[in-house]
Amino acid sequence: MNNLAKVLIEQDKNVDAMALCQQRLAVQANDLTALNILGVCQMRLANAELSLATFDTILEIAPNDANTLNNRGAVLIKLGQIGEALTSLDRAISLDPNYVDALINRAVVWWYRKDFNNELADYERILRVHPTHKNVMSKMLRAKLELCQWNDYDLLAARLVRDVLSGEKLCNPLTMVAVAGSTKTQLKCAQTWIDDKCCGTGVREFSIEILGREKIRIAYISPDFGDHPVGHLAVGLFEAHDRSRFEITGVSLTSRHETDIGTRLFNAFDNIVEAEKMSDLEVSNYLRESRIDIAVDLAGHTRGGRTEIFAFHPAPIQVNFLGFPGTMGAEFYEYIVADEHTIPAEFSNNYVENIVYLPASFLPFDDKQKVAAIAPDRADLGLPENGFVFCCLNNAHKITPQVFAIWMRLLGQIEGSVLWLRGGNETTHENLRSEATRAGVQPERLIFSKRIERHEDYIAAYRCADLFLDTFNYNAHTTSCESLWAGTPVLTFSGEAFASRVAGSLLKAVGLPELVTGCPEDYENLAIELATNPAKLSGIKQKLVENRKIHPLFNTDQYTRNIEAAYSMMVDRHDRGLPPKNLVIAH
């Protein structure tokens, strides 16, 4: 019975597995295996508190059961009790130093704490025990990217791409976005990941009665309805939807954010569902029972996303939008929202979804976003009062050795210049300073940002930079928007894949296509020209100030009407019994 229950869990039949465990426990109440399986089922069915109680019951009987301690650690992570999770996982590992599952869970704890050094150490330990583990290599590479530890970057990246393309390894598609700029590679990665996670195609056995519909019902599903880039970008869109034609539901996969932006986001919806403690099936059933026409995934393969909800196909139309910059690799998404720059026609076959081509940029923006009238002083940010300030306030994992080498050459050529980077992990700072030293640049010319509490002050701080230098393969997305909104130009290089073309999309939508380059050499040369030609840079800044008022990038109402047109076309095709297809929304 226990073995059958394990098989049912593998098939994601958690309710059936739990019933079987309860039958077994009715015969033998202290069967530790059955109790552990029961606790796992409860956790997977979003009964985390009940699951924790089950594991605690087991530990009263067998306090040194490593399996239970590991499971308890996993459920505590789910409950957000990270410190207690670490205690439980440490005990499990002390009892079994080579316990791979416990080491993986403990690495997740380190990741939540942004302790990438310990996270990396646990992954390296796992690979010594289990060198062929199917997805630890990609996790290890991601931790190295967070630390900018590049001693074996080229070797690991090439090996990971090779193993993913051959089907030998799994890799979170978000990691692959940073590592590989090929749409073909990203597609293979996403398909393999989704097949392992969601069994590929999902459930598509129902239809919705559409006669008499008064409004199109849209559900936005996200873990990021708070102080998060997705929340800041999309709140204006949610508020601007035409309520005479659309009914808007928000499904929050995390608890309510008690911040100004969190409150504003929750108030932006006609209906709000706090689904943190709901299982994937429960969320899916809610969407189906609410007769949602379009379910929009705002997270995809990013942190906190729950793709399994969409695998049940609770809505007739499902859309990949904003959160994940690439194909989901799953047949159960009908559409991806893009534009002509982010998905060029020659690479469109490497996207599983049908493509919605919005005019201008695919990225929404809240034009109510405040910018402090007075920017912080350079000195307050640790920046020199004089000298050219290059900046890149992207997360460290987007920085690759190739782009950093270009930046170091720029500092070498532009006397008195500095590079202003996002602050964070001190080991990351030290690694970047060491890389600068190896490139012949004084490490003090790298300046790491300090935390700025008020969002409007943070946006205004971009004005302290002369030029924002973009990253590739993974562009600045929200940070590009913020820099342009503040009035600081962004220089980018557009590659092949979606994530490497977002900044180019934004620049074209704000009327600055001259800042979009087609190769790393042109990117470097233009950076030098802008840094040494004050008149040219000043002209671009003035053009940006003027274009922000008249070009579509920062026009939230117009953007909303465009995406509403796309939603209407999706529903119209569905209502007429036509299959999804690529859609082009007119300017």
CA atoms of 106 and 66, how far apart (whole Å): 13
Closest CA to 302 of 192, 193, 391: 193
Is it true that 216-367+559-584 and 379-554 share their CATH fold? yes
Closest CA to 365 of 216, 492, 245, 505: 505
Query: Residues near 136 by Cβ (< 8 Å), separated by ≥ 6?
Result: 104, 123, 126, 127, 130
Q: For residues 169-183, b (16+ Cβ closer than 10 Å) or e, as one string?
A: bbbbbbbbbbbbbbb
Residue 373, helix vs strand vs coil: coil
CATH number of 216-367+559-584: 3.40.50.11380
Say if CB 183 and CB 496 are below 8 A apart: yes
At residue 325, the pLDDT reads 98
At residue 204, the pLDDT reads 47
Say if CB 89 and CB 73 are below 8 A apart: yes
CA atoms of 515 and 522, how far apart (whole Å): 10
At residue 43, the pLDDT reads 87
Q: What is the DSSP string of 403-431?
A: HHHHHHHHHHHSTT-EEEE----HHHHHH
pLDDT in tens, the chain (587 residues): 989 998 998 887 888 999 999 999 999 998 999 999 999 999 888 788 999 999 999 999 999 999 999 999 999 998 889 999 999 999 999 999 999 999 999 999 999 999 999 999 999 999 999 998 988 999 999 999 999 999 999 999 999 999 999 998 999 999 999 999 999 999 999 999 999 888 544 444 444 555 457 899 999 999 999 999 999 999 999 999 999 999 999 999 998 888 999 999 999 999 999 998 888 889 999 999 999 999 999 999 999 999 999 999 999 999 999 999 999 999 999 999 999 999 999 999 999 999 999 999 999 999 999 999 998 999 999 999 999 999 999 999 999 999 999 999 999 999 999 999 999 899 999 999 999 999 999 999 999 998 898 999 999 999 999 999 999 999 999 999 999 999 999 999 999 999 999 999 999 999 999 999 999 999 999 999 999 999 999 999 999 999 999 999 999 999 999 999 999 999 999 999 999 999 999 97
Helices in 381-486 by DSSP H: which ranges? 401-413, 426-438, 455-461, 478-486
Distances (CA, A) of 375 to 337, 379, 480, 534: 34, 11, 18, 21
At residue 430, the pLDDT reads 97
Helices in 210-259 by DSSP H: which ranges? 229-240
418-421 sheet: strands from edge to edge: 446-448, 418-421, 389-392, 467-469, 490-493, 516-517
Closest CA to 467 of 402, 431, 414, 400: 414
CA atoms of 587 and 577, how far apart (whole Å): 27
Q: Which CATH class is domain 379-554?
A: alpha beta
φ, ψ for residue 218, nearest 5 deg: -115, 135
At residue 45, the pLDDT reads 82
Query: Residues near 521 by Cβ (< 8 Å), separated by ≥ 6?
Result: none
Q: At 448, list the tokens.
A: 């790491």
The ranges assigned to domains in the chain are 216-367+559-584, 379-554
- CA 263, distance to chain mean position in Å, is 22
